[in-house]
Amino acid sequence: MASGSRTQHQRFLRLFTTHEPAIRAFVRRLVPSRTDADDILQEVAIVLWEKFDEFREGGDFKAWACGIARYKVLAWLRDRGRDRLVLDSDVVEIIATQSLEQEPVLQQQREHLEDCLESVPHAERKLLAQAYQPGAVIREVAAASGRSVGGFYQWLHRMRQMLLNCVKRRLAPEGA
C-alpha cells in the first residue's frame, strides 16, 4: 500500500470509527430490526469508502455519512416495499430529517449514559451488558445472576430507572 493510500485509509478509519455509533443509531431509528440496520450499515461503510475521495478535508463526516445512510435506507425500503412491516419512504424521510436535527441531543444523551454506566459497579454493569446483548436470553442471564426471572426483570427495571434519572440530572440546566 502506497504511503498516500495508507494515509487516506487511516484517515477514513479514524473518521468512520469515531462516528460509527452515531451512524448506526441513525440507521437503527429508520429500520425495524437491528439485523436490518447491521446489513445497511455494512453497505453504507462500503459506499463511504468508495466515495471517500469526494469527502472534503475538514468537512462534517457524520452529516455526510448520514446522508449516504439515508439513501441506503430508502433503497432498502424500496426493495422491501411489499413488506407490511416496512415504513413508507415519506415517513422515513420525515424521521430521518427529524433524527438528524435531534442528533446533537441524542449524542449528548449517549455520552451521559456512558458516564452514568461508569458509576455502576462492574458486576452489575456486566449483567446489564449481558441482558442487552443481541440474542440474549433473559432466563439464562437471570439464572447466571442468581435471580429468578421476575426478580431479574425488577432489578433491570430499577437499573434502567436509575440510569434514566442519572441522565436527566446531567441534562438538567444548572440551578433547575
Q: What is the pLDDT of residues 126-162, one digit of tens each?
A: 999 999 887 889 999 999 889 999 999 999 999 999 9
- 1-103 to CATH, choices 2.60.40.10, 3.90.550.10, 1.20.1300.10, 1.10.1740.10: 1.10.1740.10
Is the model's pLDDT at 48 over the cut of 70? yes
In this prediction, residue 105 carries a pLDDT of: 86
Concatenate the DSSP letters of all residues of the chain into one string: --HHHHHHHHHHHHHHHHHHHHHHHHHHHHSS-HHHHHHHHHHHHHHHHHTGGGSPTTS-HHHHHHHHHHHHHHHHHHHTTT-TTSPPHHHHHHHHHHHHHHHHHHHHHHHHHHHHHHTS-HHHHHHHHHHTSTT--HHHHHHHHT--HHHHHHHHHHHHHHHHHHHHHHHSPTT-
For the full predicted model, state whether its pTM sits above 0.75: no
In this prediction, residue 77 carries a pLDDT of: 84
